Structure formats: C-alpha cells, structure tokens
Structure 1
C-alpha cells in the first residue's frame, strides 16, 4: 500500500513537472524537475548550439525553464522587433535575481532596478555621458591618450611574447575611471588598477564554473553543491567594491566645490544632484548607496564588455592571419603612414569596420541574455503571458543565425562588405542588445573599439608565440573566456 502511494505521488509529480505546468506556455524543451533546462547548456557549453537547436525545433518564441520558473525566449530578429523594440515598454523591466539585493544592500544600481527609479538614473547617466563628450572630440582625445599609452607599453615588448589583454585592460579602465572619478591609472597607480581589476575577475575566474553559473540562476543549488555558495563568494567581492568605491566617493565629498556649474566627472555631477534633492527633502532617490552601485554597474559594463571583446579580437586575429593581412592592406591603402587614426577616418575604412563587426558577432559574449520580465499582461503567438513573466532577448541566437550568417562560427569580416566594397549594414548584428535596456555605454564602446583596433593594427602585426594560436572554440573552452595567451608584436612602419 505504501509503495503504491509513493508510486502514485512520483507519477503525479512527474506529470505535473513534465506536462501539466507547461500546458499554457509556448512549446519548448522538456525541463528536468527542479532544475529546468540548465543542464542542456553544459554540453556543449556555453549553450549556443542548444538555443539554435531549440529555435529550429520550436520557432523563434519558446519556453525555457530556469529551475521551476518559465522564461520566454525570443530568438529571431523579427520577433525581437515585434517585442522588445515595437512594444518595448512591455518588456522593459528586469527580472530580479535572488542574491542581488543581498549583494547590493537593497534594490540599487541601474542593471537590477525597475520603474521610475531605474528610468531616472539611466537618463541621468546618459545625460552625463553626453556632457563628458561620448561620441565627440572630447572623448576621442581621452581615448587617444590611452592609445599612446598602449603604444608605449607595446613597444617595450617587441619580439617577445606579450599578454595584450593586460595592456589593454588598463587603457579601457582608464577611460571609464576618468569619466566616473576624474583620473586615470598612470604608472604610479598601476597597483591600484590591478586591485580593482581583480575584483572584476569574478566574471571569468572562480565564477566561470558550471556550478557557479547554475547558482547564478538557482542560488538554492549552492546548499547542495560542494564548495562555497555563490553568496559566500560574492561577499568577498562586495567588500572590495565597497572599499574602493567608498574611498573615491568620500574623497569627492571632501573636495567638491558645489558652487561650480561644470562637472569634472560623474560622481561630482551625482553629488551635486544629491545635494539639490536633499534640499528639497528627497533623501532617497539619489542616495550614496545608489551612487556606489551606479559606479559599480558603469565600471563593470565599460570594462568587462570592451575588455572581453578586445581579447577575442586578438584571439581571432591570431587564428585568421589572412583576415589580418586584408586589414593591413586597407590601412596601408587608406592611411598609408603611422599617423593617428581618428573617427573622421571611419567612413573610409569599411573593412576595418567590418573586422570590428565580425569580432563582436563571433565573440557573442552573452549566450543567455539578461532576464527581463513583462510589465503587464500581454499576448505572444496566441499565448497569454502574465505580468511578471521572465522574457529573454536571445541575441546570441540572432548573431549565430546560419541563414543570416552562413558558417556562423567562422570568422569572416567579408560578410559585412557588399559587392561594391562598402560596409554593409546587417540588422541582426546586435551585440549591445535591443529595446529599453539596450546597453547605455554603446556609444563609448563603439568609439573605443574603433580607435583601439584601427590604431593598434595600423602600427603592429601580431603572430602567435611558440605555443601557437589560442583556442577559440568555446565548446572546448567550456565557456566565454579564452585561456591566457601571448602574442608576438612586429612594428609595421619601422622605427618611429
């Protein structure tokens, strides 16, 4: 009798998990009880092939389960336009993650917040970025200072194997740190940069394991998996972030001149707005804790996205020497010297732009995009989707769509060049995502990538060191990050 009851209970549980709970959602892969479809992303990692297979089988809108929660994946550009672009307000909210408030000390920042609070701080950040010259000559001049610093560091390593990521990371960090805190990490502050950079290594270091990726979406799994939980590990980094950003904010508070109208950096602008709000009796909307979380979000987005993209740039270049040769041929034909390349040269360098486009497409840094949720009840493909349902703009599938990008895993900049040799616009290239949550640092990242890539390859050729070209197959790498590799630099224009 007891065995029969247990059997009935097991069958009922499985029926509910595998069939009944899925009846009102768009068709999708069958989830495992409790953990959903996460294991499907493990082999092969990081999940591109699973998402591509499901798109072909179920269509461009299907249900993917994270634990016991359903998420609607939108995985074609046409579907993205109909949802996140044309109906952006419905998909503007971010799905809260279980550990984020514990890590941040509440609902703060611009990545994890929603509603009027999120909108106000996003608008404020965009406004300040524009004031600081993003997309204009003022920002270009700041980036060119870093280009010259890259040259100085690279010239010291000619003929030797060098870790280019290490050199470029400080340059990228300098750009965002100047915008946020008003100073760059020169040689006297190199140790300071290495300290803050180490805090951000959690994305590619100890948090890169499959166990940690599972806990990112299902924190409760940490209590049944061996080793520290994701919350335990985040606490260590939280202390580092809090101390670094807290010190910078405190220094600004001690030195700020509230009478000056112009702002030297983001923190100064924020503190002035905070003081203005507090005089009006508002002590919440522009709090110091929110400032600390804002600079965390802006630092992370600006450093990690551009840094990872540049690392993949060098990895693909070392694996595709013919593409580098074509890049050099265009630079020699159009530039023809070692002069600085500026954004004014951009329209005349179609292959260079195509090269950068293909780097962003093949790097494809987010196999599973940020988790959004619906702000109201809506209807998708005839299915009623309740308010608060998780929805994902699955841009990785769009950028690896083999109908738009034949042989999607092959690095081929020519796919962005038309028959007349001009740069071809391809809507499906969406590395900064789409919709209301599209990356607010897109303008800065695009300017950095063009100036860094064009100037670096105009000056240098890179070849693999004795260990050979780095592995670029993410399935073999098991994730989104390359293993450490070194390249040998050769100057292209003689002694300068």
Structure 2
C-alpha cells in the first residue's frame, strides 16, 4: 500500500470513529437538554453558523430557540447563552457552577491548562489570587501604574509627532505602547519602539490571535486531532505562541540569574521567590510551568486587547469627526496644553468617558468570551446541562442587547449619558466579562484607554485618507476576537 492510500485509509478510519462517537454521544445526551437546530454527523451545526460573525449568528439563532439553546460545534455539544438577563443569571447568580474554563485546543498548545486564563480548580484559584495580589503590589490599580501609563502616553505622543502629519498604520504603535505598560510590571522594563525582537513578538501575537478567530482556528478547536494532520495557516498558531513562550522563558531565566529575594523587581521575581518558599511542598502550584503560562497569559491579554480597542476607537472617531470635536472641546475646557492628563480628569469629562465606554461596547472585542464549562450537572432555566458541558456566553448579546441599549448596532455615546449630559453607568456594560472569570486587568485597561486616548487628542486632530462617509467601521472579523479593518491615520498637531 502506497503512502497516499495509507493516509486516505487513516483519515477514513478517523472519520468513521468520529461518526460513531458522535451518534453515541447524541443518543446518550437526549433528555431535558435545551432546544437547538438538528446537527449533521461530524460537522454538527457548523454549516449553519456564519464563521466571520459568530456572535451575530448565535444571536439570530436565539430568536428562534430562545436565550438558552444547544449547538454542535463539530461533534461537541455546547450550550449558548444570549442576552443580559441570562448571562447575568449564569455567571453571577450561579457563578460557582458556570466558572469552569472550557477547552480551547488552539491555546492549549502552549498553556496546557496552566496559568490563569485557561486553568481550573485549585490551580486557577491560586494563580488568580497570587496574580491579583502581585499586580497590585507593583502598582496596578494604584497611583504608581498611572504614572507609568502617563510616561508611556507621552512617549507615544512624541513618536506620533515624528509622523509629521503623513499617513501611517497605527496598529503596532498602539501594540508597543500598551505592551510596554504591562511589560514594566511583568518584566520590570519597557522596550524601545524600534526594538526588532519586541516588534517581532507583537506581530506574532497579533497574527496568532487573528488566525484563532478565522475559520481555520475555529476548525482547529473543533477537530484538533484531524487539523493537526492537515496543512493550512492554522499550523502557524502554535509556532507563533511557542515563540512568544520562548521569549518569556528567556526573561524568566535572566531573572533567575539576577534574583535578589529581598528586592523583587517585577512579577517574575515575586513568583520565583514564592517558588523558593514552597520548594519543599511537592503539591505546590508554584512551579516553572505555571510561571511561564501565567506570565504568557498576562503579557498577551495586557497587550492585544487594549491596543485593538485603541485602534478601533481611532477608526470610529475618523468616521465621526463631530464626536472627536466634542472631545477636543471638553479637553480644552478641562486642561491646558501642557497639563499631563490624569485619572482625576475623568470625572470632569463625562462626554469623553461616555465615548470611551461606547467604543468598548461597540467594538465588542471578545464577542463570545473564552469558553466556560459547568462544574456539575446543572438545572438552569428549566433545562439540564450535563457536567463538563462547554458553555458560550455571547457577550455581544449583552453589549448589543436592545433592551439595555436603545440603538445597539450603531455607535452612540448617548448610551452612557443622562438627560443632563452627565455620565450614566449601565449594568449591561461588561466588555471584560463578568462573574468569577472577569478580566483581572479591567481597572488597568480602563485607565489606559482614558489616558492614552486623551493624551493623543490633547495634542492632535485626527484626519483620514478617506472621506468619513466612506470609512467602514464594521469589523473585518468577529469570532473569538474582533478586529477592525486596516486603515491609515494622519495626526495633525493642534
């Protein structure tokens, strides 16, 4: 038998096994499950989902099947939650049951169920508790980190001055600026914007998350055993994430060689000291693999989400110059040209604060959030959800809930303003998730978004290479992650 015939026979065998287990599992799962469309063997409901806008597709399905329904992503059944009331009930009112992390094979290639973002049980509890405490020790949520953000914002402004009003793609400038803030906490240092290794890492980070959000990444998460054998761009995801992991390991090794236990310089030092303290404890969760996974997760989350928010925000302001002009008026009313924007300014700038909230709502950065799972057999809204079932809380259905936001599909800062022009909080504003798995960097992200955006608009007027009516602010892709379209920006000094 030649190699081609053997490969064909092998794939046929794999498909037969998948079909057998799919039929067996589908029959076994009959009972008081949520409703949902009839799946096809092996593919499940894949052909019924818009793979360039999964959140919207699931919201459309919820109109037929209700706010809680089942869907087969390949051979795996998942339960989908849509709407503010349902997601709040699951993730807050039943937090203990719904706080498990579901599987994502694309990320598991490097995280292996460790760290903070993709772990469960006691490992997750200890890593999250330690991470929150240590990040606070190094200034996150305090005055210290505000000063770091202010310094980085001024560095970004100076870099932008050098563009001299010419068109440029702001993607990696925002990545460098936001990454430098988290790097100063995790690695104890910032990087020059011209550092080639640093720029290469940010490019790999951007491309890996983009690929995870494409149909290739989705297929890998549904059929990891098969997709590993097939050619395609999905094979680059593991390589990109692996290279970033290698960089983290190199930074950890440097810290090990220069560690002063009495003077921790950054997050890595603090973790290494904790490892040494627990070295006699054979069941300790403080070991090298957890350190690597935790730092890797913080590094990626603290860079890509915020930089994409800023990039999307600038595109939206190019589309609506009248909104930008109102922000300029508020900035000029509150501060002088030589004033360094600070967090105290936010309470005096309700319109700017409303615009930032609307950017985060409209951009819908994580429309599905990372996968959840139920920790036990669960009765929820009259349905039975078996233990271990993966759950998809569609955050887009909260941020775009027409009951909570009067005009959800259009950009409107009025969603966060009261009748007197004051800032108005909304319970349904949860771009960082909610419940026990809420992003632990939420406070940092809010602070950075305000300080970076105000610092830029304090010194520049935005100008596009296209007429505002021709600017498309719909995402180029909206699945695990939402990405705005590529654009060029001109910054005209004020």
CA deviation string 1:327-372 (max 9, x = no partner):
1122222225341110011111111111111111111012322211
Change (3 A) 1:136 1:437: same
Candidates 237, 251, 255, aligned match of 1:252: 255
Report which stretch shifted further, 465-474 or 90-99. 465-474
What residue is the counterpart of 1:111 in the other structure?
117
Conservation of the 8 A alpha-carbon contact between 1:274 and 1:286: yes
Conservation of the 8 A alpha-carbon contact between 2:67 and 2:86: yes
2:475 counterpart of 1:484: no
Conservation of the 8 A alpha-carbon contact between 1:267 and 1:291: yes
**How does the TM-score come out when normalised to structure 1?**
0.89
Report which stretch shifted further, 129-138 or 247-256. 129-138
2:51 counterpart of 1:51: no
Q: By how many angstroms is 1:177 displaced?
A: 0.7
Conservation of the 8 A alpha-carbon contact between 1:360 and 1:431: yes
Which secondary structure does the structure 1 equivalent of 2:60 belong to? helix
CA deviation string 1:282-301 (max 9, x = no partner):
37511112111111100111
Candidates 86, 93, 96, aligned match of 1:89: 96
Q: Supply the distance in 2 between the matched residues of 1:350 and 1:98 (Cα, whole angstroms).
A: 42
Conservation of the 8 A alpha-carbon contact between 1:165 and 1:311: yes
Change (3 A) 1:100 1:364: closer
Conservation of the 8 A alpha-carbon contact between 1:376 and 1:386: yes
Q: By how many angstroms is 1:135 displaced?
A: 1.7
Q: By how many angstroms is 1:213 displaced?
A: 2.3
Runs of 5+ consecutive residues of structure 1 not aligned to the other structure: 1-11
Which secondary structure does the structure 1 equivalent of 2:195 belong to? helix
Conservation of the 8 A alpha-carbon contact between 2:22 and 2:42: no
CA deviation string 1:359-412 (max 9, x = no partner):
111110123222111112220121122221112222111111123223322111
Q: By how many angstroms is 1:162 displaced?
A: 2.1
CA deviation string 1:21-51 (max 9, x = no partner):
55531112333332223333326x2123312
What residue is the counterpart of 1:65 in the other structure?
72
Change (3 A) 1:243 1:47: closer
What residue is the counterpart of 1:268 in the other structure?
269
What residue is the counterpart of 2:48 in the other structure?
40
What residue is the counterpart of 1:185 in the other structure?
191
Equivalent pairs, count: 473
Report which stretch shifted further, 48-57 or 345-354. 48-57
Which secondary structure does the structure 1 equivalent of 2:329 belong to? helix
What residue is the counterpart of 2:316 in the other structure?
316
Q: Supply the distance in 2 between the matched residues of 1:152 and 1:448 (Cα, whole angstroms).
A: 17
Conservation of the 8 A alpha-carbon contact between 1:18 and 1:32: no
Q: Supply the distance in 2 between the matched residues of 1:321 and 1:374 (Cα, whole angstroms).
A: 45
Conservation of the 8 A alpha-carbon contact between 1:63 and 1:73: yes
Report which stretch shifted further, 361-370 or 264-273. 361-370
Conservation of the 8 A alpha-carbon contact between 2:378 and 2:386: yes
Report which stretch shifted further, 368-377 or 124-133. 368-377
What residue is the counterpart of 2:13 in the other structure?
none
Q: By how many angstroms is 1:153 displaced?
A: 0.5
2:175 counterpart of 1:169: yes
Conservation of the 8 A alpha-carbon contact between 1:362 and 1:409: yes
Q: By how many angstroms is 1:80 displaced?
A: 2.0
Conservation of the 8 A alpha-carbon contact between 2:402 and 2:408: yes
Q: Supply the distance in 1 between the matched residues of 2:175 and 2:477 (Cα, whole angstroms).
A: 25
What residue is the counterpart of 1:5 in the other structure?
none
Candidates 197, 203, 206, aligned match of 1:201: 206
| Within-5 A mapping of 1:23-422 | 23-42=31-50, 45-98=52-105, 100-104=107-111, 106-186=112-192, 190-222=195-227, 227-228=231-232, 230=234, 232-258=235-261, 260=262, 262-278=263-279, 280-282=280-282, 284-422=284-422
Q: By how many angstroms is 1:241 displaced?
A: 2.2
Q: By how many angstroms is 1:76 displaced?
A: 1.8
CA deviation string 1:106-140 (max 9, x = no partner):
43221111001110000000001111111211000
